[in-house]
Structure formats: structure tokens, C-alpha cells
């Protein structure tokens, strides 16, 4: 999506493909506004437009409210608070921060709508590819693999956020729209595994510079390893470790290596670097200026959210003051070499003449990894909508630590687990420590702080109550978001609410 052809097609497809009427629900998935659809997708160019439309959804962060994954999950964890101007600024964020969501309050509508929009687009284009008769075999193999990866990606988000969700792997007929029922997490995970296993052989090892943003085989293997790890099934951990080893070993065919300088990972000048495995591209090239449909642009609004409100000073641009970093994370990281690349010390900025407005839940510490930078502020369109910072979903240090965890939990190669943990620490000048689960989990928090991993890490490892209980987290409820009420109503109760929610 980062090259001109890959990005330019997105806007075209956005006007012609698979949008759901705003008066209907997101499980009502029949494509609309496509009078020529039956005559489309006859050649590779047209099919590629459909594939790009599926990719496009992973960029979305404002469907049904502001639901950018990195800051939202940071607010749900003990890394950050919700922030903003007040508790009523973004009440859905505050509700997630305090775990007092209900069927009408919380980020669930946007997250549900985004994933099912992506799944619907994937199902449509897979059906069209299946019927196309003039596609080159290699082209067809690759695009089918990409779309299956993306469908798995959307279902992985859904199963982690909601648990029991409808499993839809085809374009629904009209008479099937309102009788959707939920599948169990085990059934959803089985479909995710199936899609990823089928995708892996059809994907290239590396992606050319002109196609950065498309999925590689290494990304699919890393994603499958992550999916296996997250299921907490000990019988799957050996396979997870093997998949991660393919990605992590020195000289791997995918070209992944740890960057020598930790801060370079997050520089907008260093997109798709050798440590990045799964990266969602953003740019300011489209000069977007439509607050009614921010998803139509290519920019990332998350930096605007986490920036310091009314900031006046060097380096940073002004933001909206969401996701102030907790003093707990500051205390954990204050002596860590990664602190300066992870957290902005507002008091230090003030001491050097900088100013900003202290907003709701202010701690004077802010996210630095995705902060709005003056040097990258868009000079056209609405700058707040057009930040070009990419989102790194999976990177090599993450897969090092996931492999180390899988090895320790499965009784695998302890020496290799220690090598992986030590490599992450050595990159920032830290000494070797034993490869225990506690040390691996502690390293994940430090290495991946404010990147959106912490909340799901706490849930999947059974530590959420101990860490987030004082924040309002309740076992048997807060692991999942409530199902959006409109989905229950439109299916006349076929879709059931998650436990503990009204």
C-alpha cells in the first residue's frame, strides 16, 4: 500500500466496493453501490483493486468512533490512562480504561464494524477470484494467500476482543442475514489457523521496495505462531516455537535483523526496516480533510491523539492529550535504556521552556514512540488527519520474546530461549538474565511498552486480575468487550451478549 500504484487504487475501490449502508448493521454484508460488480474482477488489475480494498481496512482507526489499536489498548492496560480533556471527552475510552463498559458504552461498535467490514471484503474478493478465468496462476496464488491472511487477521482481533463471534467465510445471501449465531473461540481459532496455513505457501519470502505493505511469508508465519501462543494450548507451543525460529534465526530467508539502535525502530524515516515484520502503512500523500470519513484517507490519527495538548516547544507538534503514561510504567522504566525512546518527560520539556496543557489524568509523561513530530506534520489537508507514522504490529524483538516464552512453557530448548531473551536485552546494553517466564514477561513490558501488546499479554497469561483489578478488571467479564447491542437486536437475539454485560 505504500507505493503509488498500491495506494492510488485504494481511493478508487473505496468508491465502488463493498460499503454497507449506514442504516444497516455490519452483519448485513451484501455489497452495495456496485451496479457493475458482476462484470468486474475479470482481469488482474481489477482483482488487485479488490485485494487492495481488503488491505485498506487494516488502516482504519475511526470506524464507529476513534478505535486506533495502539493507543486504545495502551489505555486499557497499565501502560497508560485514557486522558483527553475530561472523562466525557471520549467516554468509550474512559469506559475501557476503567472496565465499566456496557452494551452501549465502550469501543466495541467500531472494533466490530472494522473487522467485519474487512472480513466481508475478503469473502467477496475470494468469491470473485474463484470465478475468474483469466488470471495468471502465480498472481492468483499470491492474492488468494494475501486475502486469507487478512481474513485471519480480522478474526484474530475479533476473537481476542469478543470471544464468541459469528464465523462468516462466504458472501451471505439475503435470507441468511438475520440468523447469524456465534461460534466458540476454538472454532474461530481453527478458521484462523486454516487461513494462515493455506496462505503461507503462496506468499513471497521478501517484499520489493515498490510493494512494501503487502504480506510476506515471514509475516504469516509470525502471525500463525502468535495465534498458536495466544490459545494457551500447551500442545501447540512446540509448533509456535518452530514457526518463530524460522523468522528469528540469524540469516533467515526473510532478511529480519534487530536494529542496532532501539529508537530507530519508530522513526518515520525508517519505515519497513529490517526489524519490522507486520507493518501497517500510513502517509500524508492524500492530503485528506474529511472529518466525516477519516478512514478514507491514508493518515494515522493516533499521533494526534497521544500528543501533548497545546504543546509549544521543540521537536513535537501539538496533540490532544490522550493516553498519558502511568506513573507505574514510568517507575518500571525510569532506569531502563529504552525510556528515552518510549516516554516523553513533560517536566523536562517544561524545564527547557516548553509548554503544554495538563489534561484529564495528566501525569506529565506521554507516549513518544508514536508522538506527533513537527518534521512530519502535513502541510496540506487537515494535518491532524494526515500523520504518516506507520503502525508496527509485529516486530522481531516481539517474536524473539514470543519464541522464548513458547520454548519455556513447552519445556523446549532452554539455551535457545536464553539466547533470544539475551539478544533483546543486549541490543540496549542490558546484562543477561535467566530465561524464566517472569523475566520474559517483564522484558515484553519494557521492550514493547505503549505499542498495544500489554493488555492482551496480561489477559492471555492470567495476570490481568492481579495487575488491572484495582483499575476495575473483573475475571470472567473484562477479558472481552460487550457485543454491540445493535447486533443482538438485528438478529433478534440469535447473537448473545457476553457474560456480565447488560
Three-state DSSP state, 287: coil
Query: Is 407 a domain residue?
Result: no
Query: Is 462 a domain residue?
Result: no
Strands (E), 185-243: none
Q: Supply the pLDDT for residue 11.
A: 30
Is the domain of 322 the same as that of 179? Answer: no
Q: Supply the pLDDT for residue 42.
A: 85
Alpha-helical regions (H) of 231-307:
237-248, 302-306
Between CA 207 and CA 143 the distance in angstroms is 14
Query: Is 439 a domain residue?
Result: no
For residue 124, give its domain range. 4-67+107-202+480-490
Is the domain of 196 the same as that of 338? Answer: no
Q: Supply the pLDDT for residue 404.
A: 99
Check: CB of residue 97 under 8 Å from CB of residue 333. no
Query: Is 332 a domain residue?
Result: yes
Is the domain of 26 the same as that of 138? Answer: yes
Query: Is 22 a domain residue?
Result: yes
Domain CATH code at residue 157:
1.25.40.890
Check: CB of residue 439 under 8 Å from CB of residue 447. no
| CA 480 from centroid of its chain's CA atoms | 16
Is the domain of 306 the same as that of 161? Answer: no
419-428, long-range: CB < 8 A, 24+ apart: 420/248, 423/258, 424/258, 424/397, 424/400, 427/258, 427/259, 427/260, 427/262, 427/397, 428/262, 428/336, 428/337, 428/338
Three-state DSSP state, 246: helix
Q: Supply the pLDDT for residue 36.
A: 58
Joined together, the cell numbers standing for residue 107 give: 469501543
Is the domain of 63 the same as that of 182? Answer: yes
Q: Supply the pLDDT for residue 302.
A: 98
Is the domain of 192 the same as that of 63? Answer: yes
Between CA 92 and CA 74 the distance in angstroms is 14
Q: Is 452 left (phi over 0), alpha (psi -120 to 50) or beta?
A: left
Q: How far is CA 56 from CA 12, 13, 114, 280, 333, in A?
A: 11, 9, 11, 10, 35
Joined together, the cell numbers standing for residue 178 give: 438475520
Of 276, 377, 369, the closest CA to residue 325 belongs to 369
Q: Supply the pLDDT for residue 34.
A: 46
Query: Is 93 a domain residue?
Result: no
**Residue that is last in its domain, among 343, 376, 392:** 392
Is the domain of 173 the same as that of 315? Answer: no
**Number of structural domains in the chain:** 2
Query: Is 418 a domain residue?
Result: no
Low-confidence ranges of the chain (pLDDT < 70): 1-36
Check: CB of residue 199 under 8 Å from CB of residue 148. yes
Q: Supply the pLDDT for residue 177.
A: 79
Q: Supply the pLDDT for residue 437.
A: 98
Is the domain of 10 the same as that of 123? Answer: yes
Is the domain of 18 the same as that of 138? Answer: yes
Is the domain of 58 the same as that of 173? Answer: yes
Is the domain of 174 the same as that of 302? Answer: no
Query: Is 475 a domain residue?
Result: no
**Residue that is last in its domain, among 358, 392, 426:** 392
Q: Supply the pLDDT for residue 16.
A: 33
Is the domain of 150 the same as that of 40? Answer: yes
**Residue that is last in its domain, among 392, 410, 439:** 392
- Axis-axis angle for helices 237-248, 217-230 (nearest 10): 150
Q: Supply the pLDDT for residue 5.
A: 36
Amino acid at each position: 500500500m505504500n507505493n503509488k500504484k498500491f495506494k492510488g487504487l485504494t481511493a478508487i475501490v473505496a468508491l465502488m466496493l463493498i460499503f454497507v449502508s449506514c442504516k444497516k448493521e455490519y452483519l448485513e454484508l451484501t455489497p452495495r453501490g456496485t451496479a457493475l460488480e458482476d462484470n468486474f474482477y475479470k482481469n488482474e488489475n481489477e482483482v488487485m483493486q479488490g485485494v487492495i480494498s481488503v488491505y485498506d481496512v487494516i488502516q482504519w482507526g475511526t470506524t464507529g468512533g476513534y478505535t486506533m489499536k495502539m493507543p486504545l489498548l495502551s489505555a486499557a492496560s497499565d501502560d497508560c490512562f485514557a486522558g483527553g480533556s475530561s472523562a466525557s471527552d471520549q467516554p468509550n475510552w474512559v469506559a475501557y480504561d476503567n472496565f465499566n463498559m456496557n452494551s452501549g458504552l465502550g469501543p466495541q461498535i467500531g472494533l466490530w464494524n472494522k473487522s467485519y467490514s474487512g472480513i466481508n471484503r475478503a469473502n467477496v474478493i475470494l468469491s470473485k477470484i474463484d470465478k475468474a478465468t483469466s488470471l495468471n496462476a502465480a498472481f492468483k496464488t499470491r492474492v488468494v494467500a494475501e486475502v486469507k491472511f487478512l481474513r485471519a487477521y480480522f478474526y484474530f482481533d475479533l476473537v481476542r476482543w469478543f470471544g464468541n463471534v459469528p464465523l462468516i467465510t462466504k458472501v451471505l445471501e439475503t435470507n441468511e442475514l438475520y440468523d447469524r449465531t456465534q461460534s466458540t473461540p476454538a472454532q474461530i481459532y481453527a478458521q484462523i489457523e486454516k487461513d494462515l496455513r493455506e496462505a503461507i505457501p503462496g506468499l513471497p519470502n521478501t517484499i520489493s521496495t515498490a510493494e512494501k505493505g503487502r504480506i510476506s511469508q515471514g509475516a504469516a508465519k509470525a502471525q500463525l505462531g502468535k495465534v498458536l501462543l495466544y490459545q494457551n494450548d500447551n500442545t501447540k507451543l512446540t509448533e509456535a516455537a518452530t514457526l518463530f525460529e524460522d523468522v528469528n534465526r540469524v540469516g533467515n530467508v526473510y532478511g529480519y535483523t534487530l536494529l542496532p539502535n532501539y529508537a530507530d525502530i519508530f522513526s518515520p524515516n525508517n519505515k519497513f526496516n529490517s526489524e519490522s515484520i507486520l507493518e501497517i502503512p500510513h502517509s500524508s500523500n492524500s492530503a485528506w480533510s474529511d472529518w466525516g470519513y477519516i478512514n478514507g484517507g491514508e493518515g494515522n490519527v493516533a499521533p494526534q491523539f497521544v500528543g501533548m495538548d497545546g504543546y509549544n516547544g521543540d521537536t513535537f507538534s501539538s496533540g490532544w492529550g490522550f493516553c498519558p503514561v502511568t506513573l507505574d510504567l514510568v517507575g518500571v522504566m525510569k532506569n531502563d535504556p529504552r525510556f528515552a525512546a518510549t516516554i516523553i518527560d513533560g517536566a523536562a520539556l517544561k524545564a527547557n521552556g516548553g509548554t503544554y496543557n495538563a489534561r484529564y489524568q495528566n501525569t506529565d509523561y506521554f507516549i513518544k514512540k508514536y508522538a506527533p513530530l513537527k518534521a512530519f506534520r502535513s502541510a496540506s489537508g487537515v494535518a491532524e488527519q494526515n500523520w504518516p507514522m506507520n503502525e508496527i504490529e509485529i516486530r522481531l524483538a516481539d517474536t524473539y520474546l514470543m519464541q522464548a516464552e513458547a520454548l519455556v512453557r513447552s519445556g523446549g530448548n532452554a539455551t535457545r530461549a536464553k539466547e533470544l531473551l539475551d539478544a533483546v536485552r543486549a541490543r540496549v546494553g542490558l546484562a543477561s538474565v535467566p530465561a524464566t517466564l517472569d523475566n520474559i514477561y517483564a522484558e515484553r513490558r519494557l521492550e514493547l511498552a505503549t505499542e498495544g501488546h500489554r493488555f492482551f499479554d496480561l489477559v492471555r497469561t492470567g495476570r490481568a486480575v492481579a495487575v488491572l483489578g484495582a483499575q476495575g478488571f473483573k475475571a470472567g467479564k473484562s477479558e472481552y468487550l460487550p457485543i454491540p447491542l445493535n447486533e443482538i437486536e438485528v438478529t433478534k437475539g440469535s447473537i448473545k451478549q457476553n457474560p456480565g454485560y447488560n
